[in-house]
Structure 1
Amino acid sequence: MKPIGRSRRTTVLAGLTAAGTLTVALTACSDGGSASDTATSTASAAFTTPAAVPTGPASSDPVTVAPSVTAAAPTSPSAAPAPAVSAPAPGTTVKIGDAVPLPFSSAGSEGAVALTVTSIEKGDPADLASLTLDDDTKGLVPYYIHYKVTNIGATDLAFSNVSHIRGLLANGSRASALMVFGTFAKCSDGSLPGEFTNGKSADFCIPVMSPTTSRVTAVEYWDSPYTLGNGITWK
Structure 2
Amino acid sequence: MRALVGLAAVGALTLTACNDDTSSDSAKNTPPPTAAPTTPAAAPTMPVSTPTSPAAAGSSSSTPAGASATAPAPATGGGKDATPGQTFKIGQPAQVQFTSGSTKGVIALSVSSIETGDPADLDALKLGDKVKGLVPYYVHYTITNTGTTDLAYTSVDHVKGLLPDGSEAQELMIIGGFAKCPSTSLPKGFTNGQTAQACAVALAPTATKVTGAEYWGSPYTLGKGAISWK
Q: Distance in 2 between matches of 1:130 and 1:87?
A: 40
**Partner residue, 1:156:** 150
**Partner residue, 1:37:** 23
Q: What is the deviation of 1:84?
A: 10
Structure 2: gaps spanning 5 or more residues: 9-13, 25-32, 41-71
1:200 aligned onto 2:173: no
162, 165, 170: which one aligns with 1:168 = 162
Query: For the structure 1 residues 32 and 226, does the alpha-carbon distance in structure 2 shift closer, same or farther, using more than 3 Å as the test?
Result: farther
Q: Distance in 2 between matches of 1:110 and 1:179?
A: 24
Query: For the structure 1 residues 157 and 90, does the alpha-carbon distance in structure 2 shift closer, same or farther, using more than 3 Å as the test?
Result: same
Q: What is the deviation of 1:91?
A: 1.2
**Partner residue, 1:26:** 4
1:132 aligned onto 2:118: no
Q: What is the deviation of 1:183?
A: 2.1
Name the count of aligned residue pairs: 180
Q: Distance in 2 between matches of 1:72 and 1:157?
A: 19
211, 219, 234: which one aligns with 2:229 = 234
Q: Distance in 1 between matches of 2:202 and 2:115?
A: 10
**Partner residue, 1:103:** 97
Deviations 1:45-103 (A, max 9, x none): x799x99x9xxxxxxxxxxxxxxxxx9759xxxxxxx9995312211111000011111
Query: For the structure 1 residues 87 and 119, does the alpha-carbon distance in structure 2 shift closer, same or farther, using more than 3 Å as the test?
Result: same
Deviations 1:96-142 (A, max 9, x none): 00011111123423310000100000001111122211313110000
Query: For the structure 1 residues 31 and 157, does the alpha-carbon distance in structure 2 shift closer, same or farther, using more than 3 Å as the test?
Result: farther
Query: For the structure 1 residues 202 and 26, does the alpha-carbon distance in structure 2 shift closer, same or farther, using more than 3 Å as the test?
Result: same
Q: What is the deviation of 1:33?
A: 8.2
Task: Provide the aligned C-alpha RMSD in A.
Answer: 3.2
Q: Distance in 2 between matches of 1:145 and 1:184?
A: 14
Query: For the structure 1 residues 181 and 130, does the alpha-carbon distance in structure 2 shift closer, same or farther, using more than 3 Å as the test?
Result: same
Deviations 1:151-197 (A, max 9, x none): 00011000011111111111222111112222211112221111100
Q: Distance in 2 between matches of 1:213 and 1:84?
A: 39
1:213 aligned onto 2:213: no
User: Does structure 2 retain, via aligned residues, the 8 Å contact 1:72–1:153?
Assistant: no
Q: Distance in 2 between matches of 1:190 and 1:32?
A: 17
Q: Which amino acid aligns with 2:5?
A: T
Q: Which has the higher helix share?
A: 2
Q: Which amino acid aligns with 1:233?
A: S
User: Does structure 2 retain, via aligned residues, the 8 Å contact 1:31–1:163?
Assistant: no
Q: Distance in 1 between matches of 2:16 and 2:80?
A: 27
**Could you state the TM-score of these two structures normalised by the residue count of structure 1?**
0.67
SS at match of 1:157: coil
Query: For the structure 1 residues 176 and 32, does the alpha-carbon distance in structure 2 shift closer, same or farther, using more than 3 Å as the test?
Result: same
Q: Distance in 2 between matches of 1:118 and 1:26?
A: 29
Q: Distance in 2 between matches of 1:33 and 1:192?
A: 22
Structure 1: gaps spanning 5 or more residues: 1-22, 39-45, 54-70, 75-81
**Could you state the TM-score of these two structures normalised by the residue count of structure 2?**
0.69
Q: Distance in 1 between matches of 2:92 and 2:34?
A: 29
